[in-house]
Structure 1
Amino acid sequence: MSPLVSAVPLHVNGTGVSIPLKKRSSNRLDNTMAQHAHLVSKYENSFNIYRINTGKIHPLAGRRSMISSRANTSTEALTASKILWYGEITIGTPPVTFKVEFDTGSSDTWVPDSSCAACSGHSTYDPSSSSTSRDLGQDFDINYQDDTYATGQQYTDDITVAGLTATNQAFASASDVDSGLLDRASDGMMGMGWPSISQTGTPVFNTLVEQGVVSSGVFGFYLTDTDGSLFLGGTDASLYKGPLNWNPVLYQSSWYITVDDVNVGGQTVISSVDASVDSGTTLILGDAQSVAQFWSSIPGSQAAIQYGPGMYTYPCDSNPIVSVSIGSQTYTISSQHLKWLQVSDADCVGSVVATDDSIRHWVLGDAFMKNVYTAFDFDHSRVGFAQL
């Protein structure tokens, strides 16, 4: 496992601070089914929280999601766990360091509580040891459809990320955490989606904006196969060329935008789909019908559920040219990122994967995000992309 870089800012310019990210290697084949199940359940859970918070059914919620569940500037260094990119934060006074996953597909921050019997080997939060801790007297309960869960109590305390401190920040301290969530390099989660899908209220980055700690409500991701960076309070223009191509957010929950076209060999095979831009998955996922249509345009491809639900194989030597058109720009997905893994001398499993009818949109994970610089803008409700 690559070592984590310090949570203090490592690169600062006039608009923000950048944190380096590292990616943990993992067995992709073993992880595929778990990742697929958790991603689908994450969106089902967020749709349920959205309904609780707003009183409305999310426009993209599938059939299962309509059933209620229990449910200045700076940069942070991140490392990739089995599924998500993670980095260091501190909580409390005196500060305790945690490794958390930075997930644009969710909005809550939670870490293991000191009373968690199953959390050995992870940093834990002891509210009695922090002079700035306050118990909110509210439960926290996330139960995913893949049977993973984290339950506990909500507190406020000082949370620092990349040298930036959100005071009196609400978060959850989980006294009971499923082993499926603990089997990662990280300790917990920091969600970077919109408040509408948060159980604990205002997310950490939004608090930094409200308290004037960052100069703008913008953060940016730069991801590669081995490392990357998360920039808080703006973007790191040294990592991309040309202007950012901004696209309006469709729904202020996860970061949903419109994908105009998905192309193979320069020909459009899918048009006008809603998609979330999600640092919380390595895959690109879509509804079963359109994903089947995508793979049917690549000769020699076939369904391959033996490698995971919704997976397809294709001839490794075909090197199809795949691109995604968003707004006025088209972004190519490199052949190395279209390939999820090679399973034989001839066959590769693709990173474009079908979901069931529980979610009806596409998810652009880091198989897409590695090809572009991605900026998320709360101030103007938009997502921007630029060429690396």
Structure 2
Amino acid sequence: MILKLLIILFFTLNTTISIFQIPIIKTVPLKHKLIAKKVYTHYLLYREAISSYHEKKYINDKYIQPVEDVQDMIYMANISIGTPPQNFKVVLDTGSANLWVPDISCEYDIPEMKNNYVPIYKNLPECSSFCKVLDYHSCPHLCDPGCCQSQYKKLLNSIFSLINYHHSNDRKCKSKSQFNKDKSLTYIKNGTNFQIRYGTGSANGYQGRDIVCLTPTSLCIPGQIFGQATKLAQFFSDTPIDGILGLAFKSIAVNNVTPPIINAYNMKLLEKPIFTVYMGHYGLIDKQSGGAFTYGGLDTKNCGKVIGYQKLSSPRYWQFNIEGVSFDMFSDKMTSSAISDTGTSLISGPKGIVDLIANKIGSVFDKNLQTWIVDCKYKGPSIGFTIGGKLYEVPVINYVLPIDGKICEFGLFSLDGMSFGPKWILGDPFIRSYCQIHNFIDMTIGFAKPKLLN
């Protein structure tokens, strides 16, 4: 115990107030990988079934992360935890506020179906073989709807069985870096349980306390509380990340944990109470350089002069008001709420506006993929957002996103049905267009043009 205190004291005394920068790595979204392999439709069926499974299992949960999906998280960075350091690839996420990584005891939360497999849908009637070759969109037009529903459920059962078999040897999160508390000289037991639910499942386990380095060999925060995930939703097995580092506010943190970046400022490790996000151009190359996060100051290397600051409208997320949206001859001047979210790969907004812009650029909604597909050669006007009386434009290169070199996705989608939260989520296409300067003491967010054209 004395040795632990001496090591923590050493880190505290030998860290000076400064500005720190960490490069981020971009990975191709899981969605785009699956579309390119022509298996995304099956993934959607599986996802729907898994989501239903988790909704029933965690129906009494108090905390749900409402606006985020694991498959959307594509920018990650390296951090370390413990002494000696144990390294992890994490999403730097402005839409959440907790840090968690897989524990050495981590397992994937997969419905138990192996050996004593029991289908999730029982007593299904037999239907005509003709209906079996139809997908669940066209089947109701040619077959009895009840029969189609049965075939749809049988397909889900088959997918469950296949997925369970495929992952039966990887229940232990072997593909992830895992934190081993017994190998850290500075680990302090906390013991409080934690659980965070996402759109496709949850991460849950218990909390510990240790030195967390965000860069990963500097900006070391002694005694930071973090989550050690002992159970992860199976969807995490298909993503390259180990965990998530939340950069939102303490008011939304599970167990009221102080987020690492705010802890760093409270300990006088940062020059200013800000961090700057710069995201590079989106491309087809996986795990390429994706930009940088700068803690404690402005990113003068990658970002130009600040255009303006906007006061936050909520002390929970990086949420603020926008005064209008425009595209070509269309203009909507209604004030609405928005959040800047590094954990969302697209921009989401009201269905009416998203559909209108999508139709204007000739985009077609693929019902099987649940995605707007657009001509990769499309060259058109920017999408404008008015914030604080200033117009911020997202150019076409940032909202027409290549999937496989032949197919492109329109960078907006709708989230109608959400009765709570912001109307707009300004995800990566907006952040690639403007550096984001987050001030967590003044409660403002600023915007600056990147020096390199995205």
State the TM-score, normalized to the length of structure 1.
0.78
**Structure 2 residue corresponding to 1:89, chosen from 49, 68, 79:** 79
Query: Contact 2:77–2:91 (CA<8 Å) still a contact in 1?
Result: yes
Which one of the candidate residues 392, 406, 423 is aligned to 1:331?
A: 392
Q: CA deviation at 1:315?
A: 8.4
Once residues 404 and 208 of structure 2 are traced to their aligned partners in structure 1, the CA distance between those partners, rounded to angstroms, is 46
Cα 1:154/1:264, change in 2 over 3 Å: same
Q: 2:370 aligns with which of 290, 308, 311?
A: 308
**What are the equivalent positions in structure 2 for 1:351-370 lying under 5 Å apart?**
351-358=411-418, 359=420, 360-370=422-432
When residues 273 and 293 of structure 1 are mapped into structure 2, their CA distance, relative to the original with a 3 A threshold, is farther
SS in 2 for 1:292: helix
Q: Which residue of 2 aligns with 1:242?
A: 305
2-structure distance, mates of 1:20, 1:315:
29
Pairwise CA distance, 1:319 = 1.8
Cα separation, partners in 2 of 1:293 and 1:123, compared to 1, 3 Å: same
Aligned to 2:243: 188
1:24 and 2:24 aligned:
no
2:196 aligned partner, one-letter code: I
Structure 1 residues 148-167: aligned runs within 5 Å: 148-162=201-215, 163-167=218-222
Amino acid at match of 1:274: S
Match of 1:214 among 270, 273, 279: 270
Q: Which runs of 4+ in 1 moved over 6 A?
A: 31-35, 342-345
Percent sequence identity over matched residues?
Answer: 24
Which residue, out of 315, 333, 358, partners 1:252? 315
Distance 2:60 2:106 in 1: 27
Question: Could you tell me how far 1:331 is from its partner in structure 2?
Answer: 1.9
Q: Unmatched 5+ residue regions in structure 2? A: 1-16, 48-58, 64-70, 108-171, 282-288
Among 229, 242, 250, the residue aligned to 1:174:
229
Change (3 A) 1:314 1:294: same
Match of 2:61 in 1: 69
Opposite residue 192 of structure 2, the aligned amino acid is Q
Structure 2 residue 120 is the aligned partner of structure 1 residue 120: no
Q: How many residues align?
A: 336
Q: CA deviation at 1:107?
A: 0.5
Deviation at 1:17, TM superposition (A): 2.0
Cα offset, 1:187, TM superposition: 0.8
Q: Specify the SS of the correspondent of 1:207.
A: helix
CA distance in 1, matches of 2:188, 2:18: 33
Which runs of 5 or more residues in structure 1 are unaligned? 1-13, 39-66, 72-80
SS of alignment partner, residue 116 of structure 1: strand
**Cα RMSD over matched residues?**
3.0
Amino acid at match of 1:215: E
Take 1:68 and 1:381, find their aligned partners in 2: how far apart are those partners?
32
Aligned partners of 1:340 and 1:325: how far apart in 2?
23
Aligned to 2:133: none
Per-residue CA shift, 1:255-306, capped at 9, x if unaligned? 101122211126423532211100001100113233234435x153444333
Structure 1 residues 157 and 305, CA gap change in structure 2 (3 angstroms): same
Q: Is this contact kept in 2: 1:82–1:185, CA < 8 A?
A: no
Matches within 5 A, 1:250-289: 250-265=313-328, 267-269=330-332, 271-289=334-352
TM-score, length basis structure 2: 0.67
| Distance across 1 between alignment mates of 2:400 and 2:311 | 29
CA distance in 2, matches of 1:15, 1:92: 22
Residues 17 and 180 of structure 1: is their aligned pair in 2 closer, same or farther, counting only changes over 3 Å? same
Question: What is the Cα deviation at residue 318 of structure 1?
Answer: 5.1
Higher strand fraction (1 or 2): 1
1:268 counterpart SS class: strand
Q: Quick check: 2:73–2:345 contact (8 Å CA) kept in 1?
A: yes
1:227 to 290, 306, 309: 290
Residue 207 of structure 1 deviates from its aligned partner by 0.4
